[in-house]
Chain A
Amino acid sequence: MIAYILRRALYALPILLGVNVITFVLFFMVNTPDDMARMNLGVKHVTQEAIDKWKAERGYDKPLLYNAARQGARKLTDTIFFDKSVGMFAFDFGRADDGRDIAREIRHRMGPSLAIALPVFAVGLAVNITFALVMVFFRASYLDFVGVVLCVAMMSISGLFYIIAGQYLVSKLWHLVPISGFADGLDAFKFLVLPVAIGVVSGIGAGARWYRTLFLEEMSRDYVRTARAKGLSEAAVLFRHVLQNALIPILTGAVVVIPLLFMGSLITESFFGIPGLGSYTIDAINAQDFAVVRAMVFLGSFLYIVGLVLTDISYTLVDPRIRLE
């Protein structure tokens, strides 16, 4: 397995490099270093001299990808792309354009993001699987039909609607929890109840319907008939046999997102005042802060690769036939 992980890690390098190049090209197609300087220096009283100084200080006064004025390898290394990329592979994200340390910012903001994302993920997974198994248990009955209709209806509603309606009813009309805010430690509980509940409820429609499909496929297998013939209860059949055998597709969808959970959710965090990472990338794009954009895109792609490797590893845990070689 170690050889497999090492091989995947080596595969990851060109992928990360490619992501970095694409991010770089896309960003500088839209923004020039002069634009970035103007955005940072403000719109009033900005002089070209100040812009040039700002660029020089941050290394944005070099050519983007190719420096014809240099000799040998420096034609490629004395460029904005090289300067800004090489540190990333050592996870040295450097400073944002406003001078603040990016790694520190990420560390500081990932906790609140996880405080919402982890419970939504864990509780949502449990609720969706349970709800799907209940529908499967009552398959082809009116309960199953109602459940499917409910799922379709729930997945058709925008996530924003759940948030606004939830805040309106629970916080504004009934005064049960704060509308928005955050606190450290156990005090965070009252702020997290509503966003977590909304996160779980808004995901039930799509999640439960997807798992129902998986479970129904498993229900027609011979081992289910055998289990029943042995006299197992329906609960044991569903939760012990069907669930276990349907784990591969479940893990495919679930494990890959685990590393990305700390990246947060833009809308949920904005509406509930959660000081997480959800808006960090979008704020950086709006502020034309390339340092943050490249760091977050790099991190996102790195974590996605980690997620894929973890998914592969998880297969070996649930299916002994699978070997990673």
Chain B
Amino acid sequence: MISASLSFRFLLLGALPFLLSACDGTAWNNPYPAAEAGKNILYTAFTGRPKHLDPAQSYTEDEAAFTAQVYQPPLQYHYLKRPYALIPFAATEVPRPRYFDAAGHALSPAADPAAVAYSVYDIHIRPGIRYQPHPAFALDAGGKPRYLDLSPAALAQIDTLADFKETGTRELTAADYVYQIKRLAHPHLHSPIFGLMSQYIVGLKDYAATLEQADKAKSGSWLDLRAYPLEGARAVDRYTYQVKVKGKYPQFQYWLAMPFFAPIPWEADRFYSQPGLAEKNISLDWYPVGTGPYMLSENDPNRRMVLTRNPNYGGETYPTEGEPGDRAAGLLADAGKPLPFIDKVVFTLEKETIPYWNKFLQGYYDASGISSDNFDQAVQISGGEARLTEDMEKQGIQLRTSVATSDMYMGFNMLDPTVGGYTDKARKLRQAISIAVDFEEFISIFANGRGIAAQGPIPPGIFGYRGGRDGVNPYVYDWVDGKPARKSIAYAKQLLAEAGYPGGRDAATGKPLLVYLDTTASGLGSKSRVDWLQKQFQKIDVQLVVRATDWNRFQDKIRKGNAQLFFFGWNADYPDPENFLFLLYGPHSRTKGEGENAANYDNPEYDRLFERMKNMDNGPERQALIDQMVRILRRDAPWIFGYHPKDFVLAHAWTFNRKPNQMANNALKYQRIDPALRERMRAQWNRPVLWPLLLTLLALAAAVAPAWRAYRRHEKETAR
């Protein structure tokens, strides 16, 4: 009797939390509020908190996931077309630069780049674009800014941005773009592209010095950049601004598609500069102000970040054309419809892959990447083709793949006396190693087949890339049966012998050849990669010595040219071959001036070709130069070209218009979901299973009951 009553109480107590969680009518394991059920909300995740949301400072992809939805640079990438093409965003058209010589005479677009002293970009923006509602624009009854000059007492009452009860908006003007360009030189912002842009935007370097002096004079109060003109950027009229760039720099257009060149209203800068707000995390770095399709309405980077539709956004429609196959894939079904489709996007912080993946399978995330741990559960590779597993297909999940505009490579330090240098022997040594390190195997083992072995520095999708037989690196591959086949180890050994290391020993001294790999990889997960690499070198009887170190020391070694062989990667800033080929441009050598040429490759012939190629428009002449440069690189082999990673993204059946785009970070506005289908699927997939709960409670009761009986018996026992 006692045990039965206890069991019932235990059952009731144990079930209470679950009954409570079920009170809201949603599935018990639904992590979202019941009020959001059936709403037009996209659920996704972020894995690390963004560091900067100020467009002058933000540079990483993690940050671009937010900034690219909020800000509206003049240009953007076409969502569907390939190769990647720039189209207007806030601008009325993609600007065509005008060229001038040193005397200020206009030059024709076909003029010799060497004769161009400066280029002028006239950018016209669309009238009628309005900022998101924000307190910086709020006006009082007299039409004066409501919150731009608050007293210390009023500011002390403020704790979050929501404490500013009134908001306002205003029309976007060309001056806002100029204001942001000036901010790149602001002494407190440390914009990561200031160094680069000061080489191009006329007067930007001197402008930084001017602002620094002005800032000192103002001793910390707001620096109104409107009062300091910049020669290289000025507003021509309300809707037109002009940027003056030194020389010919066609890649500047691509920068105009990045948030660095998004508009910042002076009101926002002034609003956030009021004393005490930054200490409360009320800053432009925390709450961006833009004209884009979404606005950041909740920013708790430890938990979740929420974008909601900017009510003032309009005028943009879904693309009406794409590349062949897009229509059949349903990617043009929404052609011409106004953007964005989704009302709200909830980003939840998921640091671990296991909960992220399981919540995706339960339908609580609309899309997901695939970690190595879950790869076999999601994808099977047959005949080189990636296919979803049966379970995934049953759930209606779709797989989208795309080759990243990235290089993962191993660099030789060309200054090193053993592996560096430009002699035939040195080249043959590097070529032999390039053959031995089998990146097809690496991709298969360590990347689950997600990548393609690189034949050169330019990845597919970028002008200058060549596929097929023409694109094969003839120093590492043969063309066999219609595909590239890695040259034999015997041939690599022969090259090694010709390089002066027969049998992996120095022919002069008889000592074994040791190659040192500097790496930051020291954990357990890295050991298998290191072991694999050592095996690759053993194939040609060369010993690979791994020197593991921390990130700082590794970077220091690379800067000082003390490394011999190292792993590196590069993500494109923009889809232009210049952004890859400059990685091996001599004057960008890391040891000379902290450039991106970590291999310290310095070939005058290559440099001359690069200087000609970088300022050319895409066309046969540029392609010919690129071919020539790639040929030189393949021969000199300063890199083991490694591979171009492939991105695999899974999405549920209720998501539409998802097409991987490696360049456009503002893709959220194109996406559409079917919330009703999602609700049905979630309910179907997440029915609570109650028997284990009941069984556990019964087991507990069963364990307690005999103990209770034994206790009672013990208490009733008489002394013996």
Contacts and interface: CB of A to CB of B under 8 A. Distances in A.
B359 interface: yes
A274 to B, nearest CB: 8
B266 to A, nearest CB: 21
B624 interface: no
Interface stretch (B315-323, B334-342, B614-622, B687-695): B687-695
Interface in B351-384: 351-352, 354-355, 358-359, 361-362, 364
Contacts of B690: 174
A49 B283 CA distance: 25
A304 interface: no
A124 to B, nearest CB: 17
B715 A174 contact: no
B31 A45 contact: no
A178 B30 contact: yes
B188 to A, nearest CB: 7
A38 B555 contact: yes
A179 B28 contact: no
Given A177-B21, A272-B355, A273-B349, A138 B28 contact: no
Q: How large is the interface on B (under 10, 10 to 19, 20 to 34, 35 or more residues)?
A: 35 or more
B355 A46 contact: no
B594 A47 contact: yes
Contacts of A272: 355
B20 A189 contact: yes
B59 A179 contact: no
A171 B190 contact: no
A14 interface: no
Given A273-B350, A275-B300, A100 B281 contact: yes
A57 interface: yes
Given A47-B594, A54-B190, A178-B29, A279 B358 contact: no
Contacts of B710: 138, 143
A47 B594 CA distance: 7
A150 to B, nearest CB: 11
B279 A104 contact: yes
Contacts of A283: 49
Contacts of A74: none
A174 B688 CA distance: 6
B278 interface: yes
B192 A42 contact: yes
A246 B318 CA distance: 72
Contacts of B689: 173-176
Interface in B265-291: 278-281, 283, 285-286
Interface stretch (B114-122, B193-201, B484-492): B193-201
A167 B281 contact: no
Interface in A161-209: 164, 167-169, 171-183, 187, 189-191, 193
Chain A at the B interface: mostly helix, strand, loop or mixed? helix
B108 interface: no
B594 A180 contact: no
Contacts of B349: 273, 275
Interface stretch (A27-35, A62-70, A81-89, A210-218): A27-35
A175 B350 contact: no
B684 to A, nearest CB: 11
A315 interface: no
A272 B687 CA distance: 21
Contact of B17 (A44, A48, A189): A189
Nearest to A192: B17
- Counting chain A CB atoms within 10 Å of each CB, which of B51, B280, B286, B302 scores highest? B302
B35 to A, nearest CB: 11
Interface string A105-146: 000110010000000000000000000001001100001000
A138 B709 CA distance: 12
Nearest to A229: B719
A41 B190 contact: yes
A193 B14 CA distance: 11
Given A30-B552, A190-B17, A45 B285 contact: no
A30 B550 contact: yes
Nearest to A228: B719
Contacts of A167: 354-355, 358
Interface string B17-30: 11011000001111
- Candidate in B190, B194, B358, B710 with the most chain A CB atoms within 10 angstroms: B190
B28 A190 contact: yes
B17 A193 contact: yes
A321 to B, nearest CB: 32
Q: Which of B352, B358, B692 has the most CB of A within 10 A?
A: B352
Contacts of B519: none
A176 B693 contact: yes
Contacts of B180: none
Contacts of A234: 711, 714-715
A175 B59 contact: no
Contacts, number: 161
Q: Which of B192, B283, B688 has the most CB of A within 10 A?
A: B192
A50 interface: yes
Contacts of B302: 108-109, 275-276
B552 A175 contact: no
Nearest to B570: A44
Given A47-B594, A99-B278, A179-B355, A169 B194 contact: no
A53 B194 CA distance: 12
Contacts of A32: 552
B538 to A, nearest CB: 32
Contacts of B596: 44-45
Contact of A271 (B188, B355, B364, B693): B355
B187 interface: yes
Contacts of A54: 190
A270 interface: yes
A174 B550 contact: no
B687 A182 contact: no
A45 B192 contact: yes
B552 A143 contact: no
A279 B48 CA distance: 11
Contacts of A187: 33
Interface in A258-298: 270-273, 275-276, 279, 283, 288
A175 B31 CA distance: 11
Given A109-B302, A175-B28, A180 B280 contact: no
A300 to B, nearest CB: 19
A176 B351 contact: no
A279 B351 contact: yes
B680 to A, nearest CB: 16
Contacts of B555: 35, 38
A142 B76 CA distance: 74
A50 B195 contact: yes
A319 interface: no
Interface string A141-160: 00100000000000000000
A42 B59 contact: yes
A104 B550 CA distance: 31
A231 to B, nearest CB: 9
A177 B60 CA distance: 34
Interface string B673-706: 0000000000000111110110000000000000
A226 B91 CA distance: 92
Nearest to B596: A44
A181 B710 CA distance: 43
Given A35-B552, A175-B689, A50 B352 contact: no
B27 to A, nearest CB: 7
A273 B355 contact: yes
B280 A101 contact: yes
Contacts of A71: none
5 contacts: A35-B555, A171-B29, A172-B361, A272-B355, A275-B303
Given A98-B52, A167-B355, 18 more contacts: A40-B51, A40-B190, A57-B190, A101-B278, A101-B279, A169-B692, A172-B358, A174-B692, A175-B27, A178-B30, A179-B358, A179-B359, A180-B355, A190-B21, A271-B354, A273-B348, A273-B355, A279-B351
Enumerate the 5 nearest inter-chain pairs by beta-carbon distance, A residue then B residue, closest first.
Answer: A275-B302, A275-B303, A181-B31, A178-B31, A190-B21
